[in-house]
Structure 1
Amino acid sequence: MLPATNQRVESHTCEAINREIAEQTQSRIAHYSTKSSREISERLRELDHEWDIERALECNASALAFSGVMLSATVDKRWLILPGLVTGFLFQHALQGWCPPLPILRRMGFRTSAEINEERYALKALRGDFERVNSSDSGQRDPRAAMAAAAQ
């Protein structure tokens, strides 16, 4: 059975690393709880540019595969084994959430998109983005306000 998409990486990461990443996120959220809306917005812009683990794996895999193809074309055909291995590991990662570089990248601090979004939505809540969702007049929720808060 394949793991859930949003749990693939965490389930194949050492618990100590997962805990460290979670603690760092909680620490950043606590830090920004005393900051202004402008400073929180700056952090949210930083999060928009943070590479998640998937992007890092895709970049590394494509660079290695391309290098293998180029080396096979210019040096020795045996270099074709490199893109074969890399694409096999990338396929394994897509299905299971694990591949050889995953533990290294996680130790380097690469987070999943879910982990990044957890920080993003906590910061948005601190900034007050979700207060507009509940209409105080009618007691009903405003779906447009919910979409606007989620998109900010």
Structure 2
Amino acid sequence: MESWNQTSTDTVRSHVPEEVNKRIDEHVERCVRHMAQQERPEISRYLKKLEREWDLNRAVMVVGSLAAVLGLWLARRDGRGWQIFGGTAAGLLLQHGLFGFGPLAELVRAVGGVRTRREIDLEKFALKALRGDFERIPKNDGGPLARANAALVAAQS
């Protein structure tokens, strides 16, 4: 499946190395291909799992906040040098909030493979299409691979 993910204008995707985006896209493709061979109840179970998945913004806020609190706590306990750590974390959170992206987001995405809300939603829409929620996806024409490709393309539109 070539270039089904047309989110190139996404700020996060444009600032992260292409290998990271490719790894995340390949994971989505594998999941959708696998789900194309499953029955509706299994697809529904997986959709519920996706509903609970943390997106990049949430993960960055948690990681950044934990780092800031840890810096404050260590500064109080072990000396003022740790204030720089906490202040840097707070600054990275501010940058992420203002610009929608920053080094902390790149780190969380690269290390944890955390996806943006849009990427998670694309997978959800593709799976809903496979489940039969939309009319644009062929029921049995072309097999599971063709259905998975059609679902990914439909999720983009």
TM-score, with length taken from structure 2: 0.72
Which residue identity does 2:131 align to in structure 1? Answer: R
Separation in 1 of the partners of 2:40 and 2:121? 18
Q: Is the 8 A contact 2:74 2:82 kept in 1?
A: yes
TM-score, with length taken from structure 1: 0.74
Unaligned runs of 5+ in 2: 1-8, 136-157
Separation in 1 of the partners of 2:108 and 2:93? 15
Q: Does 1:98 align with 2:95?
A: no
Which residue identity does 1:79 align to in structure 2? Answer: W
Unaligned runs of 5+ in 1: 1-5, 132-152
Deviations 1:3-52 (A, max 9, x none): xxx71211111112111211210121111011111000010011112122
Among residues 94, 100, 122, which one is paired with 1:118 in the alignment?
122
Separation in 2 of the partners of 1:111 and 1:122? 16
Separation in 1 of the partners of 2:32 and 2:101? 27
RMSD: 2.0
Give the share of equivalent positions with the same residue, in percent: 36
Tell me which structure has the larger Cα radius of gyration. Answer: 1
Separation in 1 of the partners of 2:35 and 2:62? 31
Q: Does 1:62 align with 2:65?
A: yes
